[in-house]
Amino acid sequence: MIPAKFLKKYDNIVFELDGVIASNRHYITCAALSVYEMCNSDKYYGKSALDYTSVFNNQKQITDLLFCNGKFVDLLYECGIDNMRDCAYVLLAGILGLGERRDFSNICNYFRYINLHTSDIFDHCAILLGRAFPRKKCGRFEDMWNTLNQCFTEWLFGDELYEMFFDGPPSVHGKLPLIANDQLYHSLINTKDVFSSLKSSGFRISIVTQRPRSEVEPSFARWKFNEIFTKDDIITLDDILDSHHKANLNMPNSPDPYCFARAAIGAEYADENFFAGNYSDKFSRTIIVSASPVSLFIAKELGADFAAIASDPSNKSLKDMFRQLESDYVLDSMLDLIIQPKN
């Protein structure tokens, strides 16, 4: 297999993990179960103890109910929010802040009606939750968000893996690991064929993700990605938060331009140069491969090209949306990056 012809103008290929390499289905489930727990457990804002085994066994029904069969996730995706922890935060604000615990389509319709985007939605959620809980800090990365994040992490890892990775017990017991459901979009052989073909042809390839490093390491070890990528080739949420903290900057939105920039130009380029905007022409030979419209705007901001992956290749409206947004390429999958050479 050899690289597709359109790649000859690039040196760097940056892959976004979710939606391109791996499915985020279990992350959506994790978000739903976290919100369900926060709203129904007497440990938080519910009235009774939860049977965690029952919740786990009914994960699909709970996820479909809370996220309106995916419609709410799609709406937030269009608004620039594709981190499932943030999706959970917005849903929680809708349930607790608006007091809507029965018809969750009303929450979806509410956020569609107010028509806000990214940071404005987070600010609005903080207001909704602050009105309902005036004594709590309800903003993003504040107390209520952190509690929700803890629930999310415990559902993701389950009891045993949580203690293994975090050197301490979870706040509640009885959860099985959703991270075990982390799946590649394509077979491991085909996925690694793409990476190996590109790397052996001289491309610098890297992966960016909004997940913390602790959450990708188990799956990456299972898939043996360490045979292809070094630690510096994989940019995670930890790297993003650490860089912003050192530069005394506010917590970033998701996704953040820094992760793509660091993946493309490497650690040898100082962070302060990037945050000062000193990156003219640094990305002219970089292509970002992603399924997120927000990442497309980031590519334009950086001066990189963009290959949109239609996570559902049969969805013509999704492809049309990327074309309307002037994506440089619209592909069915990451497999389109390599071709069979002609004899």
In the chain, domain spans: 2-23+182-339, 25-181
Q: Are 73 and 87 in contact (CB under 8 A)?
A: yes
pLDDT greater at residue 312 or residue 63: 63
d(CA 21, CA 288): 13
What's this model's pTM, rounded to 2 decimal places? 0.79
Rounded to an integer, the average pLDDT of 72-76 is: 88
Is 55 buried (19+), middle (13-18) or exposed (0-12) by CB count in 10 A?
buried
pLDDT reported for residue 48: 92
Distances (CA, A) of 146 to 17, 64, 138, 142: 24, 24, 9, 6
The strand pairing partners of 14, in sequence order, are 206, 288
Using the predicted structure, report yes or no on whether residue 308 has a pLDDT greater than 90.
Answer: yes
Rounded to an integer, the average pLDDT of 234-249 is: 81
pLDDT reported for residue 60: 95
Please state which CATH number belongs to domain 2-23+182-339. Answer: 3.40.50.1000
Rounded to an integer, the average pLDDT of 72-90 is: 87
Distances (CA, A) of 4 to 194, 197, 217, 284: 11, 10, 30, 18
Rounded to an integer, the average pLDDT of 22-27 is: 87
Using the predicted structure, report yes or no on whether residue 164 has a pLDDT greater than 90.
Answer: no
Rounded to an integer, the average pLDDT of 15-25 is: 90
Rounded to an integer, the average pLDDT of 101-125 is: 90
Rounded to an integer, the average pLDDT of 124-132 is: 93
Contacts of 109 (CB under 8 A, 6+ apart): none
pLDDT reported for residue 254: 61
pLDDT greater at residue 231 or residue 271: 231
Using the predicted structure, report yes or no on whether residue 24 has a pLDDT greater than 90.
Answer: no
Mean pLDDT, the chain, whole residue set? 88
